[in-house]
Structure 1
Amino acid sequence: MSFDRHLVLETALEESVDAVVLADDVNRITFFNAAAERLWGYHRGDVLGKDIKDFVPCGICPTRDGYVDANRDGYANKIVRTSREARIEREDGKEVWGSFSLSKVDIGDKIHHLVFIRDVTEEVQRREELRLLSLVVNETDRTVMVLDQNRRIIYVNRAFSDQFGYRIAYALGKLPTDFLVGEGTDVDTLARLQRKAWQDQGFTEDILCYDRSGNPVWVSAAVNPIRDAQGDVTNVVVELTDIAALKRVQSLQDDVLEALASNISLAEVMDFLCRRVEAIAPEIVSSILLVDTEQKLWSLAGPSLPTAYNDAIAGVPAGENTGSCGTAVWRGEPVYVTDIATDPLWTNYKHLALPHGLRACWSSPIRLGDGRIAGTFAFYYREPRGPSAFHRQIVKACLYLCKLAIEHQEARRQIAVLSHFDSLTGLPNRSRLLEETESILRKAEDEGLKVAIFTVNLDHFKDINSSLGHAIGDKVLIEAAYRLQRLVSDFAAIVARAGSDSFVVVLSDCDTARAAVRADKILRAISEPTEIKGFNLTLSASIGISISGDKGTDPESLLKHAETAMFQAKSAGRGVYRFFSPEMNRLAQDRLVLGAALRNALSTNSLNLHYQPQINLNSNTLHGVEALARWHDPEPGNIPPDRFIPLAEEIGLIDTIGKWSLRESCRQIAAWRSEGIPIPTVSVNLSPLHFNDSGLPGYVAGLLEEFNLPAACLTIEITESVMMDAGAETLRTLAKLHETGVGLSMDDFGTGFSSLSSLTRMPITELKLDRSFMRNFETDPSVQAVAATVVGIGLSLGMTVVSEGVENENQARLLRRLNCTVAQGYYFARPMEACDIERWICATRLDDTAPLNISA
C-alpha cells in the first residue's frame, strides 16, 4: 500500500462510528480510533503498541489466542467467520457489550488484522429484559394474553394452556370471543369489555368463560391498553385470574344473607350455612358452637356431625386443652389441630372424635362487634391435615356471617325487650302496661274487686332538664321509678313508665278510699328531698286516679281517665291528686275541639296581633311596642293567650304561631314606616322551642330583607328556660340572630333558675323585669331590693331594662328612682290593635314635660 492509500484508509477508519482496532502481524496494536477510545475508555496513547490479546474479551473462544489465531488462519484459508458478541471491561471497571468482527488488511508486504467493534450494550439489555419478562410471564399461574390492534391474540403464556386446555399455537391469531365465551357469558359484560378495552385506562371486570371441554371458568379480567407516543392504543394486555372459588364463596354469602333476612331462627340459619359450606367443600365437616355466660359450649349447628358426638360435647367448659373449640374460646384466637390423635389439646376428648372418623379440627372464635366471643366455627377433616387457601376463604366469610346472624338475633331480642320495657328505668312501657292491666282487670272482675290506676306526673320536670341538664333529669326519673316500686312492693301492683315524665301505678283490690290513702303516700314519697350529683332537689307530682267501673273498665279507657284527672290536678296547682269525673272528661273533649279550632284559625289567618306601648321613663317617649297574639273564635269568642299558647306547644303548632307573629310584625312595621308613624321597635315573643331551630336566623334575616326593614326595629324576646338550656346549638342560633342586628330581650327575668354566668354568655341586649315584681312593689322593701338588683345587673351589662305590669303612678315613680329604663303596663296603655296605635300616639303627649300618667 502506498503512503497515500494508507492515509486514506486511516482517515476513513478514524471517522467510523464503530470502534476500530488495527494490529500488525505480531498482534501489536497500531491503530485505535476515537470510537474505540469511547468504547473502552482508554486514550489511544495508552493502547498503541500493546498486545491485541489484552483487549479481546474472554468467553468467545476457548482462549483469546485461539480466537485471534483462528480468525487469522481463517482469513488465510478463506474461512468465513461471523461476528460475535462479548463483554468488554472498560478502563473505569464498567462492563459493556460489543459485537466483534475481524478482517485481513494488506499493508505493504505485511498482513494486519482489522477489528470492528459495534456497541450492542442496549440491544443485549433489551434482549435480557425480554428474556426475564418472558420467563416471568410464562411461570406465573395467571393467564396473560396480548391483543393487537385488530383484537386478535398475538401472545399467550403457558398458564393459558393450563387454564383453558388450548395449545398456544391454536390461540394465536384468533379473537378471544371465537373460542372462550359460551351460552352463560353475560353479553352486556362482554360488550362492556370490548368497548372499554380500547377507550379507558386499565380496569377489571369479572366474566364467565369456557374451557376447551366446555366447562365454565369464572375469571377476573384485568385489562390494560398500551398506547403509543400519540396516545393511540396499539395493544391490549389482558390478565385472567381464576375466581371460581371466590364466586362460590360469594354465592354462599348471598344465600346465607337471604336466609338471614327471611326471619327464620338462628339455628335454622346456621344449619343452612353448614350445609352450604359442605356442598362447596365436600372434604370438610362444619360445626358451630355457642358459648353461654358460664363459658360452656353448646352445639348450634353441625348437620354432618354424629348426634352422639354433639351430645357428648354439650356443656363442655371452654379452657386450655379442651379440644380445638374450647381452646379457641379460651385463647380468643384460631386453633389448628392437624392430628387429633396426637395433639395434647385433644388428650381428654379424642376418644369422642376418633371413633367417628374425625382426624383433624380447625376452630375459630366468633367475635362480635363489642369484642365478645359468642361461639366457634370449626372445620373437621377425615384425615390429618391443615386448611387449604380455599378453606381459609370460606372460614373468613363464614365468621362474618356467623357474627351477623348472632348479632341479628340479639338485636331482635333487644327490640322485643324495648317493645315492652323502658330502657332508662327498666319499667314496663305503655304497651306492656296495657297487656298486664288487661290481665289484672279480668282477674279482679272475676273476684269482684276494684282496680285503681294512678297516673303520676312529675311537676316542673322540664325545668330540671332545662336548668340542670338531661343527665340529671334521667337520674331524677330513675329515682322516681325506684321510689314508686319500693312503695307498692307489698301489693299486687304494676309500676310502668308511660311517658317522658309520667308513670302509671296499677293496684288491685283498691277502691276509692284505699286509692286516696295510696295517693297520699305516693305524693309524700316523691316529695322526699334527694341529692343527685351534688344538687339537693325536692320533687313534687300531680296524680290522676281512675277506678274500674267508673264509666269504662278496659285498660285504654281507664288510663285515659287517669290522665284526664292528672291534668285536672295540674290545673289545681300541682302537688295534689284528683279522681276522674265526667266533668274532667268534658274538659278533655273541649281541649280536643279547641286544638282543631286553633289549627283552623292558623290556616284561615284568624289570629291577630295587639300592640302594647313601652315608655322610656327618663324621656317619657315611646320606646317601642310589644306584639301580643290574640285569638277571637266565632264559637267560644275571645280565647286568652294563656290558654291557647300552652295548647299550641302541646299539639305542635307553636312554631307556626311564632313564625306568623314575626312575619305579621314585620309587615306591620313596614306599614307604619310607610305611613310615617314613629314606632321605633316591635318586640315579638317566641317559644323556647324556636331557639332549637338553626334556621331561625335565616328566617328573620329573610323577613327584614323582604320588608326592607332595618334590624334595629325588631326585638325578639326569649325566656329564662332558653338561657338555662343554652347548649351549643342554642348559643349558635342566638349568636347568628345577634349578627343580623335584631335586639334580644330576656323576658320574665328573675322568676326561674336564673344564671348570671349564662346571661354573660348570651348576646342579650334587654332585660324584662317580670310583672310579678309589681304585686307588692310599693310596700315590700325586699321586692324593691330584688328589683333594684335586677336593674343594676342589666345596666352594668349595658342592657336596656324593661319593667312589665306597671299599673299606677307610684310604681312608675319608684322604677324611675331605681334607674329602670323602660316600663309597660295598664298605667300607660293596654294592648291595642294596630289601627289604634296612630290615634293613641296623637292623643298622648310623649315628651320630657309630660306627666307619668299618659294612658289614653
Structure 2
Amino acid sequence: MWESPGDENLVALQLAQLSALDRVMAIAEFDLGGVLIRANDNFLALLGFSRAQAVGRHHSSFCTPAFAASAEYQEFWPRLRGGQASGGVAERVRSDGSSCWLQATYTPVFDARGEIRHILKIATDITGRLRREQAQREHLRRLSLVADASSTAVVISDSESRIVYVNDGFSRMFGWQLDEIRGRAPIELLAPHTPQDFTEKYRAALRAGRLVEREEIVASKEGRRYWVKVFSNPVAGTPVAGTPVTGTSVDGGSRTDWGHTVTTLTDITRAKMHEVLQHRVLEAMVRESPLSEVLELICNEVERIAPEITASILGVSEEGRLQSLVGPHLPADYARQLDGIPIGPAVGSCGTAAWRNETVRVDDIATDALWKDHAHLVLPLGFVACWSTPIRNSQGRVVGTFAFYFKRPRVPAAELFHQLMVDACVHLCALALEREHTRQRIRQLAFYDGLTGLPNRSLLQAKADQAIAAASRSHDSLAVMFIDLDRFKQVNDSLGHPAGDELLRQIAHRLRQDLRATDIAGRLSGDEFVLVLPQCNADQATDRVERLLELLSSPVTVAGVALAASASVGIAMFPDDGRDMETLLHRADMAMYQAKSSGRGCFSFFSAEMNQLAQERLALETALRRAIQTRQLHLHYQPQIDLETGQLCGVEALARWTHPELGEISPARFIPLAEECGLVADLGHWALREACGQLSAWRAQGLAVPSVSVNLSPTSFHNLDLPRMIAATLESNALAPQDLTLELTESVLLDTNPSTMKTIAEVHARGIRLAMDDFGTGYSSLSYLRRLPVNELKLDRSFVADLENDATARALSAAILGIGKSLHLTVVAEGVETDAQNLLLREQGYPVAQGYLFSRPLDPQAFARWLEGATAQSTPAC
C-alpha cells in the first residue's frame, strides 16, 4: 500500500531523497480552475520559466496545442475537481518551445472539512540528464519543507515495506514521529486488518510501475479513526549519476528500477461519511422505499463502517412516547419493550435525549442513574454503554432518537469518528421521517376531510366499493344513509362560518360514536354526511337511524349558543335499491329530500315512486331548458286596479308554459324547478324583454297601459350588468324607467352575494321602480326593508283570503298598510276574489289591488280586449 525500496543507512536515505524528490519530484500547486498558484524551483527549471512568468499561467499553456484542444484534456480538470487523482506520462512544452516528457501525478488536496482546496502536481523529468547530486539534495530539502507544511500525510517506504520517511502532516494526523515507526510496514501500522491478497496485488502493481489508489479506514496511535484517500506512487531506484533511468510508463509494462513508494493520505472522513451514507439512503428515498427500509439501511451502513456499534432508531410521537422503528441487530423483544414508554428526565439514553432535546452519552449503563429503571432490559443483551442523539424536524421538534449501543467500553479516541457518523445519520434520519410525515399528510389531504377528519368522497367511495363487494360475495344486505343537517345555513348566517365549522366537527364526532368496526362514515361536502352500514337490513337500519337522529338532536354548544341540531336522512338498501355505490348514494340522496319535505328531523327509505318522480323532474328540467330556448314560454298579464277610481294602474307579467305534449304546466311547478336548476335568472331576463316589448306594442296600438311589473329572483341581481341591460331594453322599446316595476321576493333580504345590494341600488338610481312581492310571509324585517330602495309593497294573498273571517288577518293587513304609508310606499293587495274582500280593503285605505275579482291573467290579445271594454266604462287610467 505505501512501499518503496531502500536501506536504513544515511547514504541510502539521502540517495533516495535525491532521486525521489529532486530528479523525479517537480512540484506545483494549481487552483481548481487550472491556474498555477505555486511551484517549486525544480518545476520552474524543468520547464524553463521564471516564477513571475509561470505563476498565474493556466496549465494548458504548458501543454502541446493538440493535447490542450483534445477531448481527453477537456475531461482532465473536471475529474480532478471531482476528487479523482490522475497520473501518467505526458508531453509538456518548455519556455523555449521545446518539448519534454514528464512522469506526473496530479493529486486533489483536501482541507479539514473534506473539501478540495487545490491540485498538487508531482512530476519527474524523464527526458533530461540527471542533476548533480548537490542540486538533488537542495531540492530534496525544499520538497521536505513543502511536504511538512502540507496537511496531507506523506509516507516514503522502501521495497521491503519499511518506512524511511514521514512528513509533519503524517505526525500531526496519526501521532507517530519517524523515530517511533522507522522500519515498520505502513499497512500493518495503519490498517492491520487489510487482507493479504490485497497486499500482494498492491505490490505487483507497484512493481509494474502503476499508481495505486484506494480509500481506507485507518487508525491513529491513540485509536482515532480516519477515512483517507490514499495514493501510492512507485518511484525508480537511484541510478549512477549520468545513467538514464530504465523502465516504462504507467501502461502496465514491466520495470526493474522500483526503489521507493511515495504515499499520500488525505483525510476525507467527513466527506466520505456523507457520500457513502447519503448516496445509498437518498437513492432509497428516490425509489420511494418504505420508512423502515430506509432507516434500516442507515443502521446497517453504520454497523458496516464501525463494527463495534449496534445502531437503533426510535420515533417520538406527538404525545411524547417512544416508538420502536428499527434496530436490525437488537432483539425484537427489547424493541417491543421500548414501544410506548413516555420520554422523561431519566428514561435511559433515548428517552432522556428526547426529553432534553440534546445528546446523551452513557458510558456505564449498569451504574448510570438515567438507566436505573431500564437497565434490566439491556444489560442481559451484553451492552455496557449507549450514546443517543435527538432527531429534530424542520421546526426543531424532537421526532426521534438515533442511538449507538456498545458491548465494550467506548474508546475516547474514536469519539470524533462516531460523532461524524452521528452528524451524517441524524440529518438523513430527519429527512426520512419528514418525508414519511409528508407522505402521511398528503394521504390525509387526499383522502380525508380537513375539517372533520372523516374520509372524503374519494376514500368513502373506495371503502364503500369494498364493502359492497364483500356484501355481494356473502349475500348480505347493506344500508347507505345520506344525512343532511337541517337549517345549517341559518347557523352560518347568524353565528358565522367558524361556528358552522365547529357544528360540523361536533356532528362528525357524534357520528363516530355510533359506528361499529365495520361501518364507514364520510363527509361529502357542506353539511352532507354518508354512512355505509354492512350487514344491516331494513329493520336494523331503522333502529340505527332512529338512534342516530336522537344522538344528533342532543343540544350542541357552538360559539356560546346552545343549538338543537337535527338532520334529514335518506336510506338506500343493497341490493334492492342498487348494486353499486353511485346508484345507492344517488337514491339515498333522493330519499333524503323526501324526508326533508316531510318535516325536519325525519328519515325516509328510497322507493320506486321516488325514482319515478326524480326521472319526471329530470325530464321536466330538460323540457324547461328547451322551452326557454325555443320560446314555448309566454306571458299573461293581470291588471292592477286603483280601488278609489277603478282605473288601471298597471299590469303584472306572469309566465305561462304550454308544452306541446304535456299541455299547460303550472307556474307553481316550473318556477321552483327553475330556481333549483339555475334557470330562474334566464327566465327573469326573458320575461323582462318580453314584457317591455309587449308594453311598447300596446302603446303603439293606442292602448293606455301605465306600466308593467316583472318578477325577478335574487339570482338576477348577482349580475352587475343587469342595470345596463334593463336600460338598453327600455331604450330599444322607447320606454321610460318609470314604465317598469321590478318585483322582488323577501328572500333577497338574506341574499349574501356582495353584488345583490349594489345592483339593486343602481337599478333604483336609474329611476326604475322596485316592489316587495308577497310581503308578510317571509322575514318581513323592517331594518332590512329600511335599507332597500323599494317603492311598493304587495300584501300577500294569504292575508286577503282571511280578511272576511279572521280579525287577526284584518289587523295584520292594516298594520302592513300603515308601514307602507309611513315609508311613503304604495301598497298593493294581491289575490282579491270577492266583493267583501274588496270592500274591506277599500275601508282600510288600500290604494291598489289585483285579483280574479277584476280579471284573471290574460294573454296580450285578451288583455287588449279587456282593456278596451274597461276603458269604455270608465275614465282614462291613472
- Structure 2: segments with no counterpart, 5+ residues: 1-30, 39-48, 62-67, 79-104, 117-269, 406-411
Candidates 692, 698, 701, aligned match of 2:724: 701
Residues 806, 374 of structure 1: alpha-carbon distance in 2 compared, 3 angstrom cutoff: farther
Measured after TM superposition, the shift of residue 643 of structure 1 is 1.8
Give, as a single letter, the amino acid of the residue that structure 2 aligns with 1:366. N
Residues 391, 330 of structure 1: alpha-carbon distance in 2 compared, 3 angstrom cutoff: closer
Q: What TM-score does the superposition give when structure 1 sets the normalisation length?
A: 0.54
Contact 1:456 1:503 in 2 (8 A): yes
Residues 707, 524 of structure 1: alpha-carbon distance in 2 compared, 3 angstrom cutoff: same
Contact 1:544 1:578 in 2 (8 A): yes
What is the CA deviation profile of residues 791-813 of structure 1, one whole-angstrom value per residue up to 9, with x for unaligned ones? 33343344443333233444344
Residue 786 (str. 1) matches residue 786 (str. 2):
no
Contact 1:312 1:352 in 2 (8 A): no
Residues 617, 536 of structure 1: alpha-carbon distance in 2 compared, 3 angstrom cutoff: farther
Q: Which residue of 2 aligns with 1:814?
A: 840
C-alpha distance in structure 2 between counterparts of 1:254 and 1:715, whole Å? 78
| SS in structure 2 at match of 1:384 | helix
Candidates 392, 402, 414, aligned match of 1:365: 392
Q: Which residue of 1 aligns with 2:152?
A: none
Measured after TM superposition, the shift of residue 375 of structure 1 is 3.5
C-alpha distance in structure 2 between counterparts of 1:651 and 1:482, whole Å? 33
What is the CA deviation profile of residues 159-183 of structure 1, one whole-angstrom value per residue up to 9, with x for unaligned ones? xxxxxxx999657477999999955
| SS in structure 2 at match of 1:646 | helix
Residue 801 (str. 1) matches residue 827 (str. 2):
yes
Q: Which residue of 1 aligns with 2:800?
A: 774
C-alpha distance in structure 2 between counterparts of 1:407 and 1:367, whole Å? 12
Contact 1:484 1:495 in 2 (8 A): yes
Contact 2:468 2:478 in 1 (8 A): no
C-alpha distance in structure 2 between counterparts of 1:548 and 1:308, whole Å? 47
Higher relative contact order (CA 8 A, sep 6+): 2
Candidates 579, 595, 613, aligned match of 1:587: 613
Give, as a single letter, the amino acid of the residue that structure 2 aligns with 1:363. P
Contact 1:340 1:361 in 2 (8 A): no
Measured after TM superposition, the shift of residue 609 of structure 1 is 3.9
Contact 1:328 1:363 in 2 (8 A): yes
Residues 585, 610 of structure 1: alpha-carbon distance in 2 compared, 3 angstrom cutoff: same
Q: Which residue of 2 aligns with 1:297?
A: 322
Candidates 797, 818, 827, aligned match of 2:853: 827
Contact 2:745 2:773 in 1 (8 A): yes
Q: Which residue of 2 aligns with 1:721?
A: 747
Identity %: 39
Give, as a single letter, the amino acid of the residue that structure 1 aligns with 2:721. G
Residues 547, 288 of structure 1: alpha-carbon distance in 2 compared, 3 angstrom cutoff: closer
Q: Which residue of 2 aligns with 1:405?
A: 436
Measured after TM superposition, the shift of residue 412 of structure 1 is 1.2
Q: Which residue of 2 aligns with 1:330?
A: 355
Contact 2:454 2:523 in 1 (8 A): no
| SS in structure 2 at match of 1:383 | helix
C-alpha distance in structure 1 between counterparts of 2:306 and 2:728, whole Å? 73
Measured after TM superposition, the shift of residue 406 of structure 1 is 0.6
C-alpha distance in structure 2 between counterparts of 1:711 and 1:396, whole Å? 75
What is the CA deviation profile of residues 132-191 of structure 1, one whole-angstrom value per residue up to 9, with x for unaligned ones? xxxxxxxxxxx999xxxxxxx9x9999xxxxxxx999657477999999955999xxxxx
| SS in structure 2 at match of 1:648 | helix
| SS in structure 2 at match of 1:295 | coil
Residues 574, 328 of structure 1: alpha-carbon distance in 2 compared, 3 angstrom cutoff: closer
Contact 1:630 1:639 in 2 (8 A): yes
Candidates 735, 746, 758, aligned match of 2:772: 746
C-alpha distance in structure 1 between counterparts of 2:634 and 2:281, whole Å? 63
Aligned residues: 635
Give, as a single letter, the amino acid of the residue that structure 2 aligns with 1:365. R
Please say which of residues 593-602 and 818-827 is displaced more in the overlay: 818-827
C-alpha distance in structure 1 between counterparts of 2:444 and 2:746, whole Å? 43
Q: What TM-score does the superposition give when structure 2 sets the normalisation length?
A: 0.53
C-alpha distance in structure 1 between counterparts of 2:699 and 2:76, whole Å? 80
Contact 1:625 1:681 in 2 (8 A): yes
Candidates 371, 379, 384, aligned match of 2:415: 384
What is the CA deviation profile of residues 225-282 of structure 1, one whole-angstrom value per residue up to 9, with x for unaligned ones? xxxxxxxxxxxxxxxxxxxx99x99999999999778765444566678899999999
Give, as a single letter, the amino acid of the residue that structure 1 aligns with 2:414. E
Q: Which residue of 1 aligns with 2:400?
A: 375
Give, as a single letter, the amino acid of the residue that structure 1 aligns with 2:662. P
Contact 1:338 1:385 in 2 (8 A): no
What is the CA deviation profile of residues 199-227 of structure 1, one whole-angstrom value per residue up to 9, with x for unaligned ones? xxxxxxxxxxxx986999999xxxxxxxx
| SS in structure 2 at match of 1:631 | strand
Q: Which residue of 2 aligns with 1:203?
A: none
C-alpha distance in structure 2 between counterparts of 1:788 and 1:407, whole Å? 67
Residues 272, 605 of structure 1: alpha-carbon distance in 2 compared, 3 angstrom cutoff: farther
What is the CA deviation profile of residues 284-324 of structure 1, one whole-angstrom value per residue up to 9, with x for unaligned ones? 99975422355222244678999999778655532225567
Q: Which residue of 1 aligns with 2:4?
A: none
Residues 183, 504 of structure 1: alpha-carbon distance in 2 compared, 3 angstrom cutoff: same
When the two chains are superposed, the root-mean-square deviation of aligned CA atoms in Å is: 6.6
What is the CA deviation profile of residues 351-374 of structure 1, one whole-angstrom value per residue up to 9, with x for unaligned ones? 889998998665342266xx9754
Please say which of residues 791-800 and 546-555 is displaced more in the overlay: 546-555
Residues 306, 651 of structure 1: alpha-carbon distance in 2 compared, 3 angstrom cutoff: same
Contact 2:349 2:361 in 1 (8 A): no
Give, as a single letter, the amino acid of the residue that structure 1 aligns with 2:400. G
What is the CA deviation profile of residues 737-772 of structure 1, one whole-angstrom value per residue up to 9, with x for unaligned ones? 656665554333322344333434445454332222
Q: Which residue of 2 aligns with 1:636?
A: 662
Measured after TM superposition, the shift of residue 782 of structure 1 is 0.4
Residues 721, 702 of structure 1: alpha-carbon distance in 2 compared, 3 angstrom cutoff: closer
Measured after TM superposition, the shift of residue 591 of structure 1 is 1.9
Give, as a single letter, the amino acid of the residue that structure 1 aligns with 2:795. L
Contact 1:803 1:824 in 2 (8 A): yes
Contact 2:349 2:387 in 1 (8 A): no
C-alpha distance in structure 2 between counterparts of 1:171 and 1:283, whole Å? 49
What is the CA deviation profile of residues 646-673 of structure 1, one whole-angstrom value per residue up to 9, with x for unaligned ones? 3334444445444544555566677778
C-alpha distance in structure 1 between counterparts of 2:454 and 2:319, whole Å? 25
Measured after TM superposition, the shift of residue 409 of structure 1 is 0.8
The correspondence of residues 176-575 of structure 1 with structure 2, limited to 5 A, is 182=74, 265-268=290-293, 289-292=314-317, 294-300=319-325, 315-322=340-347, 326-327=351-352, 329-331=354-356, 333=357, 335-336=358-359, 362-366=389-393, 374-375=399-400, 383-385=414-416, 399=430, 402-413=433-444, 415-418=446-449, 423=454, 436=467, 445=475, 500=527, 564=590
What is the CA deviation profile of residues 392-438 of structure 1, one whole-angstrom value per residue up to 9, with x for unaligned ones? 89977975774353143144146445499874999x96775675566
Give, as a single letter, the amino acid of the residue that structure 2 aligns with 1:292. S
Q: Which residue of 1 aligns with 2:82?
A: none
Contact 2:465 2:581 in 1 (8 A): yes
What is the CA deviation profile of residues 702-755 of structure 1, one whole-angstrom value per residue up to 9, with x for unaligned ones? 453476476655554443334235476755565566566655543333223443
Measured after TM superposition, the shift of residue 783 of structure 1 is 0.8
C-alpha distance in structure 2 between counterparts of 1:550 and 1:278, whole Å? 62
Residues 412, 257 of structure 1: alpha-carbon distance in 2 compared, 3 angstrom cutoff: farther
C-alpha distance in structure 2 between counterparts of 1:354 and 1:731, whole Å? 78
